[in-house]
Amino acid sequence: MMRTVGVAAAAAILITGCATGYGPKGMSGGYEDKQIDGNTYRVAFFGNGHTGRDTVWSYWMYRCAELTKEKGFEFFSIIPEKKGSSAVPGPGGLRTANLRSGDEGEAMKAASYYYTPGTSYTITTYSSSALVKMYREPLPPGVEFALRAQTVLDALKPYVQSGGSAPAPKREEVIAKALVRVGSKK
C-alpha cells in the first residue's frame, strides 16, 4: 500500500511539475555527457513530460556546442547512434550524421504508462543522444563537414537562457548558419 502511494505521489509531481530546464541531469531531466576518447563524447539530453521535442533538441544541440568549446575545440560533428551499435557505419569507418535528413540525434519519444486505482495516464518524454566528435582547424582528412560551436551557441543562447520562453530558431536555420564544409571559408 505504501509503495502504491509513493508511486502515485511521484506521478503526481511529474504531471504538475515544470518543463526540464537546461542543466546537468537531475530528477526532472537535463544533459549528460560521457567521454569516449580525447575528442569524442556521448552527449544526451533527457526531457520530462512537460518538455517538448523541439526544446529537447535545442538544449541537446546547445550542450554539444557548449561542451565542444569547454574542451577547447572549435567544431563538432554528430555521429548518430543506432541500437546495437555505437555509430552509423560508412566508407572508411564511422560517418557523421546527415544533418539535413533529420538523423542528427533526433529526439526520441518514450511513453510511460501509470496506473493507480481509479486512474491511468500516459506521460510522453523526449530525449536526444549521439556521439559528438570535436575538432580544431584545420578539419582532419575524411571530415566533410562540421558545425561551428560558437555559431550554434549564439543561435540558441536566447532560447536556452529564457528557459524556452523566447522563440526558438528553426533547426534548419541553426544548422545552415553553423555548417562548415571542407574547403569552405564559411
Predicted model pTM: 0.76
- Grid cell, residue 38, equals 580525447
Give the per-residue SS3 of the chain.
CHHHHHHHHHHHHHHHCCCCCCCECECCEEEEEEEEECCEEEEEEECCCCCCHHHHHHHHHHHHHHHHHHCCCCEEEEEECECCECCCEECCEECCCCCCCCCCCCCEEEEEEEEECCEEEEEEEEEEEEEEEEECCCCCCCCCEEEEHHHHHHHHHHHHHCCCCCCCCCHHHHHHHHEEECCCCC
Cα 160 from Cα 58, distance rounded (Å): 8
- Do the beta carbons of residue 160 and residue 168 sit within 8 Å? no
By CB atoms closer than 10 A (0-12, 13-18, 19+), residue 19 is middle
pLDDT at 18: 87
Cα 22 from Cα 41, distance rounded (Å): 18
Task: Please tell me the number of Cα atoms within 13 Å of 59 on its side-chain side.
Answer: 32
Backbone angles phi, psi at 158, to 5 degrees: -60, -40
pLDDT digits (tens, 9 = 90+) for 27-67: 989 999 999 999 999 999 999 988 989 999 999 999 999 99
Cα 78 from Cα 73, distance rounded (Å): 14
Domain ranges of the chain: 2-181
- Grid cell, residue 172, equals 534548419
pLDDT digits (tens, 9 = 90+) for 83-136: 443 333 333 333 344 444 344 445 576 666 667 788 887 888 899 999 999 999
Q: What is the mean pLDDT of the segment spanning 20-30?
A: 91
